[in-house]
Amino acid sequence: MGLQLLRLKAVRLGQALAWAALAGLGAVALRAEITLAPLFADGAVLQCDKPVAVWGTAEAGEKLAISFAGQSGSTKADADGRWVILLEPMPVRTIGADLTVAGKKDTVVIHDVVVGEVWLCSGQSNMEFTVRQALNAEREIAAAQYPLLRHIRIVPQTSATPETKVTTSGWKAALPAHVGDFTAVGYFFARDIHLRLGVPVGLVHSSWGGTPIEAWMSPMALADPAFGAVQTRWAEATAKQPGAQAEYEAKLASWTAAEAAAKAQGEKTFAAWRQKNPKPYRPRGFAGDPWAPAGLFNGMIHPLLPYGMRGVLWYQGESNADHAGEYDKLFAAMITTWRAHFGQGDLPFYWVNLAAWRANDPTDMSWAWLREAQTKTLVLPNTGQALAIDLGDPVDIHPRNKQEVGRRLALLAKHRVYELTADDTGPTFESATREGATLRVRFTDVSGGLISHDKPPQALEIAGADRVFKPAAGRIDRDTLVVSSAEVKEPVAVRYAWRNCPDANLFSGTGLPVVPFRSDNW
């Protein structure tokens, strides 16, 4: 099905899917005790200014009364013991209050519940990356004194069917005792929002390192016949798994022995050996493999439905670089169906465009194609991306400067959600016009003109009619870029930062990086 049809289907299904998530897939054991969904725990942050669903389980048919911050209401558990109630939109509340659910036999109370801004943080290892691992970690942890900035971690789990239960860390405040375990990207984003707005901010953190986008997509999204290749690859992986597993175990044993021998020769020798001899990867398709299509949606997103939130932060794509050509369609389908499942309209959805990495192969462009796929997804409404092309590490897939990544995501939210700032994205390619032996490149979103740090513009290439790209020189002319190469007399196309790890040094005058681009469609 096409993207427009998928969006239409999602709009129609939106609220219905969110409530259907609470009903599960079948009967559950009847419970005499009242329980609340795991996100409703001491210290919780509820979303302000929109209806908030509260749900859980109780004895079948039991009448329940709920009260919170001056609101009260009642509901009744269904035949399977499930119940839900919708709180009316609430203003910001910085003083914690009790949320109480009372039945005929028992009462459940969660304490210190506040109302503010809630953001879901998801993706793979660069979202999972903690404050403890980030740049200047000790200083950041010691400085964290934000009791109204709170974080709850969803314990990773995968499932073949949609789950309603999940284990969590509980809600933790951004204080030195806890903040080291927060998602770093999420924390630095939330700190910026919290300090600017002065309201509680809650982060629901649900990520798993080294996982592909198809694992985070719902069964509804993956049912599109256009994504048959995803299902085929998975079926092939599971079919090959027994033999591949035996081969992997033999390789791992050999690698482990070689590793021990290299260690015995000293730290310097060992470091050089590790650089050239990565640990063998376990073959895909094993039981509980987090790469299973829809497995992480079922296990780590479905249990959160339909928790009230302001928007979603996403940092993922590294594990899909080998199939970058399909990523924009997968990503668009994931966003569209997540919105439908949460039932809260076109939730703001902001992501990180991949950082530079893997300088050891200067000809590899797989990450460039993935970045382009991410940029293409901006056609969806209420989306935005924060660039990290200049923040990468040539040898480490996990760059440590998550402070700037979080700041750039916060720029998007402050402009588009909270209407506080205007400049939230870097210059974006608009056109390339031939002027003799040069190409003049024009951009949109050029705030303050163009600048290049320390040296002339780098990472430029141009090609002639032969479609062979050659390294090119760039000259900034106010808010345009003039590109040329002695090897290309009649240029027809230009590319910028079109490698895995380019020296991307072009920025707007306000310090935001130019979006990697190409003028060709080859």
Listed in sequence order, the residues at least 6 apart from 127 whose beta carbon sits closer than 8 Å to its beta carbon are 121, 183, 185, 186, 205, 207, 313, 314, 315, 316
Q: For the chain, which residues make up each domain, given as ranges? A: 3-29+115-218+294-416, 240-292, 428-518
What pLDDT shows up at residue 20?
59
Q: Mean per-residue pLDDT for 249-269?
A: 91
* Pairwise pLDDT comparison (241 vs 34), residue with the higher score: 34
Backbone angles phi, psi at 521, to 5 degrees: -125, 30
pLDDT at 358: 87
Q: How far apart are CA 343 and CA 362, in angstroms?
A: 44
Cβ-contact 190, 173 below 8 angstroms: no
Q: Is the pLDDT of residue 17 over 80?
A: no
State which H helix or E strand residue 481 sits in: strand 480-484
DSSP state of 347: -
The per-residue pLDDT for 275 is 74
> With contact defined as beta carbons under 8 Å apart, do 322 and 54 qualify?
no
pLDDT in tens, 261-300: 999 999 888 888 987 888 887 778 887 899 999 999 999 9
CA gap 113, 40 in Å, rounded: 9
The reported pLDDT for the residue numbered 5 is: 42
- pTM of the shown model: 0.91
What letter represents residue 454's amino acid? D
H or E stretch including 237?
Answer: helix 228-264
Q: Over the stretch 455-511, which tens digit does the pLDDT of each residue have?
A: 999 999 999 999 999 999 999 999 999 999 999 999 999 999 999 999 999 999 999
- Scored b (16 or more CB within 10 A) or e, 382-412 reads ebbbbbbbbbbbeeebbbebbbbbbbbbbbb
Of 46 and 5, the one with more pLDDT: 46
Q: What are phi and psi of 104, to 5 degrees?
A: -75, -25
Q: Please give the pLDDT value at position 286.
A: 82
**Alpha-carbon 71 to chain mean position:** 34
Percent of the chain beyond pLDDT 90? 83
Q: Say whether pLDDT at 211 is over 50.
A: yes
Q: In terms of pLDDT, which residue wins out, 354 or 423?
A: 354
Domain 3-29+115-218+294-416 sits in CATH 3.40.50.2020: no
Tell me the two tokens of residue 406: 């979080």
Give the DSSP per-residue string, 44-111: -EEESSS-EEEEEE-STT-EEEEEETTEEEEEE--TTSEEEEEEPP---EEEEEEEEEE-SS-EEEEE
